[in-house]
Amino acid sequence: MSLELWADSASFSKSKPNLYLRITSASEFKKVDAWTGIDKLKHFSVSLILTTSTYYYMKKPFGFSNTTSLSVSIPFSILVGLGKEIKDRGEEGNHFSMKDLAVDMVGIAAGWFIANNLR
């Protein structure tokens, strides 16, 4: 529960804004977004799997070239990660995380490396 203090100073005239002070408890602050944990492992894994599987399906069943397959799989994986973070921003108790996007990029790079060596 937060404690809100509203102060109207006598020195403020009607044309100047009032001073508002809000004191929040520690439970109201968002949890720290750590670089380690199961969430980051999930981001890495999903990005890696999306990149390599999209590459594989573009290359093998559909017969696209290596360049085209990578040119589709990498942006697709980036858009999925970005879309997830935009979705998180709109949810209660969640937030847009640049760390999640960074881990997504590491997963995509690992997927690119694997796909490049599977030719």
Give the per-residue pLDDT at 30: 52
As for how many domains the chain has, the answer is: 1
Structural domain that includes position 106: 38-117
> Is residue 85 assigned to a domain?
yes
> Is residue 27 assigned to a domain?
no
> Is residue 80 assigned to a domain?
yes
> Is residue 32 assigned to a domain?
no
Q: Per-residue DSSP letters for 37-49?
A: SHHHHHHHHHHHH
> Is residue 9 assigned to a domain?
no
> Is residue 2 assigned to a domain?
no
Residues 92-117: tens digit of each pLDDT: 878 899 999 999 999 999 999 998 88
CB 82 within 8 A of CB 40: no
Question: What pTM was computed for the model?
Answer: 0.70
> Is residue 23 assigned to a domain?
no
